[in-house]
Structure formats: structure tokens, C-alpha cells
């Protein structure tokens, strides 16, 4: 997928109304679910760095990395001046060492990943045993998902929206143990386009 769409969107992403209505409720849910003792966090699909900067500010003991494949997004993130390491890469090929993080977060980006199981396996790879993956993404009701799939077939952005059940199955297919899944309250769009937080854990010992 071209980065052009996201480079353009980066100019509007930080508008207060957009953040308040769309992204803040999702980021609040991730921050709330992230264990307080987590010290090594990478935010994949970090966009303009809202969540990464917030984590660095609210948890000064944490080392936070933000990763996005859009230079436009990372340029905006860098302008924040937060104590965050920024990395340009896509979710399927993270230039990060094995077992180097305690948590991987991803908010409202997962639907853009072209191979979602491969992305989750990459998240699992960079996690230390017992580490968490926290994916917060819109899980539209069935008619909306169907309409979205038709739209991509006629040339629209190739979003891959999943149901709550499918999100759980993707986590398990990537070798992650499901820890939690819950709906996030958000207005507007909370009925047809409800965001869902799904938390998976890298098992401390390999499955037999």
C-alpha cells in the first residue's frame, strides 16, 4: 500500500475534534490496560505519535518506540519533541530485535495491515516471553464490514476489518494467548463502528 494516503492524512490527524472523537477513547483504553510496570513499549502504526508521546510523558521510566511506515506521520511525531525513538518501517518487517519489548500497542492501524496474522507474528517475535500485544481497532457490524470489502474491490483503500471473533482467532493463529477483549465506548459511530481492544500474551513457555 502506498504511503501517500497516510502522508496526506497526517496533516489532519491531530485536529482536536478528530482526536477527541476518534482516537482518544481508544488510546485511553490501551493506556488503562497496559500494566504499570511495563518499561519497553513499541507503538506500531504510531501515526503522529499521540499515544507514544503520552506513554513517554505519563510513564517516565518506560522506553517508548514509535513505528510507522509513513514519513509524513513520523515527521509530525518528531515535531512533538517527546522522548520517543521513531522508526520508519511497516508492521510486517519490524527492524527490532527478538524479545526486546514488554508490550506492543497498535491503535486504529491494524485494519490497514495487508497480512494481519504475519503482523501479529512479528509482534510476537519482538515481545519478551510474557509480553503483551494490545490491538485496539474498529470492529464494524457485519453490514458495514461487507460494504467495506465491496469498496476495496472497486479501488478504495484496502482496509481489512474483522469481527471480534475473527480478531481473537487471528491472535491465536499467531501464537498469542488471549488475555482480554472488550468493547470501547466511543461517540459518534459507537454502534455501527465500535472499537474493540484485544489483548494477547506471548506465552512464557512454548506450546507443546
Q: What is the CATH number of the domain that holds 44?
A: 3.40.50.150
pLDDT of residue 139: 83
Q: What is the mean pLDDT of the chain?
A: 84
Higher per-residue confidence, 156 vs 11:
11
Residue 183 forms part of a structural domain = yes
- Please compute Rg for the chain using Cα positions: 16
DSSP state letter for 203: -
Residue 208 forms part of a structural domain = no
Count of structural domains within the chain? 1
pLDDT of residue 21: 54
Q: Which of 174, 185, 178 is nearest to 26 (CA)?
A: 185
Residue 27 forms part of a structural domain = yes
Task: Tell the residue number behind the cell numbers 488510546, with chain if given.
Answer: 27
Residue 166 forms part of a structural domain = yes
Indicate if the pLDDT at residue 155 is higher than 50.
no
Residue 88 forms part of a structural domain = yes
Residue 61 forms part of a structural domain = yes
Indicate if the pLDDT at residue 19 is higher than 50.
yes
Residue 207 forms part of a structural domain = no
Model confidence pLDDT, tens digit, residues 76-98:
999 999 999 999 999 999 999 99
Model confidence pLDDT, tens digit, residues 100-129:
999 999 999 999 899 999 999 999 999 999
**What does the alpha-carbon distance between residue 28 and residue 164 come to, in Å, rounded to a whole number?**
19
pTM over 0.85: no
Strands 127-138 and 177-183: unpaired
**What does the alpha-carbon distance between residue 26 and residue 135 come to, in Å, rounded to a whole number?**
10
**45: domain range?**
4-201
Residue 206 forms part of a structural domain = no
Amino acid at each position: 500500500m502506498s504511503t501517500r494516503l497516510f502522508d496526506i492524512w497526517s496533516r489532519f490527524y491531530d485536529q482536536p475534534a478528530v482526536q477527541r472523537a476518534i482516537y482518544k477513547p481508544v488510546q485511553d483504553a490501551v493506556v488503562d490496560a497496559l500494566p504499570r510496570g511495563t518499561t519497553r513499549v513499541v507503538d506500531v502504526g504510531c501515526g503522529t505519535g499521540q499515544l507514544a508521546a503520552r506513554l513517554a510523558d505519563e510513564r517516565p521510566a518506560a522506553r517508548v518506540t514509535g513505528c510507522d511506515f509513513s514519513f509524513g506521520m513520523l515527521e509530525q511525531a518528531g515535531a512533538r519533541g517527546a522522548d520517543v525513538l521513531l522508526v520508519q518501517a511497516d508492521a510486517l518487517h519490524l527492524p527490532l530485535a527478538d524479545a526486546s519489548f514488554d508490550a506492543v500497542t497498535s491503535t486504529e492501524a491494524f485494519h490497514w495491515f495487508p497480512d494481519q496474522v504475519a503482523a501479529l507474528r512479528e509482534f510476537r517475535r519482538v515481545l519478551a516471553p510474557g509480553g503483551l500485544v494490545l490491538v485496539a481497532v474498529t470492529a464494524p457490524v457485519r453490514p458495514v464490514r461487507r460494504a467495506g470489502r465491496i469498496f476495496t474491490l472497486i479501488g478504495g483503500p484496502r482496509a481489512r476489518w474483522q469481527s471480534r471473533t475473527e480478531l481473537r482467532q487471528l491472535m491465536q493463529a499467531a501464537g498469542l494467548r488471549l488475555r482480554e477483549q472488550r468493547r470501547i465506548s466511543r461517540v459518534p459511530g459507537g454502534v455501527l463502528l465500535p472499537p474493540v481492544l484485544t489483548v494477547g500474551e506471548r506465552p512464557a513457555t512454548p506450546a507443546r
